[in-house]
Amino acid sequence: MKRAFTVHTVLQFIFLMVFWLLLSGHYDLFHILMGVVSALLVTAMNLRLRRFHFYREEIQQVEARLKRQFPVTLRPLRFLYYIVWLFWQIVVASLQVAYAVLSPRMPIDPSLVIFKTRLPNTSARVILGNSITLTPGTITVQLRDDEFLVHALMDVSASGILDGSLPGQVARLYEKTPGQVVGNTTIIRSKRDM
Amino acid sequence: MGISSIIAVILISLGTFFMAVGSIGLIRLPDFYSRAHAQGKVDTLALILIILGLMVYEGFTLNSVKLLLIVVFVALTNPTGTNALTNAAYRFGLRPWFKRDQRGQKKPGGRK
């Protein structure tokens, strides 16, 4: 565990350094040294933060890698595909929301959707939660363990979640053939049902 | 005007259109949650389109890589911020506006 933590710290430093070099654009000794100092400072400030739950899982993955095991990790090519796919979903959903906002009758029908997911780890759940919020028409209001609470502006906005396509895509980032990802769905449509 | 400028102009115009839609939605939609949709989300696409337009205009340089980084960070932080806002509202006990509760009451977007 300790070794994995060190490796993870070094990886973080390297990542920050690359980021600095990208942003600075000056490649002389003085500016690079300044980058080293800032990256070290940020890494030092993060040391204590990284002992908490979200990072712990990440560090456990590093540990498994060091032991030559292959944990369930993000598949990079699939992730590239996912970004393109998500961008397309965002475009489609934006047009739907734009139509709803501009139409004089304003055909909105908000609902709260509660559902449980079966995703392999915390990162996957965060990716799903952020993707839902990033797609216009749906917002993740609450995420507790496996349970999502989503506010949807229209029925058509929530359909991508209810038929399991968005959660399915997220699960496929980690596993080749995920099973049923979404379950226990409840839809709330009036204040009395809350 | 080269072909890249034309593409840039189209992308930025589309982005501005979605920005305008977001602002109109902010005024027209009935409650906090649905306004968060207009404000936080349609704007996401708008910003991505505008920055893509700027990238096309700039060409393949270090600056366009920096612009791409802006897109990445907006895509990461924007949903987190929206989630923080709506989650705070939900915990506070603010209930969403539902269509079914509105029978016999005035319509949203109508004259007040």
The nearest CA of chain A is from the CA of B34 a distance in Å of 6
Give residue B11's pLDDT: 92
3-state helix, strand, coil in chain B (%, to 5): 80, 0, 20
| Selected residue of B18, B23, B28, B37 to mutate for chain A interface (largest A Cβ count, 10 A) | B37
pLDDT at B105 over 70: no
Largest distance between two CA atoms of chain A: 66
CB A127 within 8 A of CB B76: no
Taking a contact as any Cβ pair under 8 Å apart, which residues of chain B between 33 and 62 contact chain A?
A: 33-34, 36-38, 40-42, 44-45, 48, 62
Cβ pair A110:B96 closer than 8 A: yes
Number of Cβ within a 10 Å radius of residue A60: 15
Interface predicted TM-score (ipTM) of this complex, two decimals? 0.80
The nearest CA of chain A is from the CA of B61 a distance in Å of 11
Give residue A40's pLDDT: 92
Measure Cα distances from B62 to A18, A80, B12, B58 in Å: 13, 21, 20, 10
Torsion sign (Cα): A9, A14, A20, A26: positive
What is the mean pLDDT of each successive set of 10 residues along chain A, which is 194 residues long?
A: 82 90 86 92 86 72 75 80 90 86 84 85 85 86 86 83 83 79 79 73
Number of Cβ within a 10 Å radius of residue A193: 12
Nearest CA in chain B to A132: B79
Question: Using only C-alpha atoms, what is the Rg of chain A?
Answer: 21
Cβ pair B42:A136 closer than 8 A: yes
Give residue A50's pLDDT: 78
Cβ pair A22:B29 closer than 8 A: no
pTM (predicted TM-score): 0.81
Worst-scoring range by mean pLDDT, A190-194, B51-55, B104-108? B104-108
Q: For residue B106, list chain A residues with Cβ-Cβ distance below 8 A.
A: none
Measure Cα distances from A66 to A3, A7, A56, A61, A155 in Å: 9, 9, 15, 9, 46
| Chain B contact present for A38, CB below 8 A | no
All structural domains of chain A: 2-67 (no CATH), 76-189 (3.30.70)
Cβ neighbours of residue B44 under 8 Å, at least 6 residues apart?
Answer: A90, A134, A136, B74, B75, B78
Cβ pair B75:A134 closer than 8 A: yes
Strand order in the sheet with A147-152: A138-144, A147-152, A111-117, A182-188
Nearest CA in chain A to B95: A191
Interface size A-B, in CB pairs within 8 Å, comes to: 120
Q: Which two tokens stand for residue A114?
A: 């509660």
Cβ pair B34:A108 closer than 8 A: yes
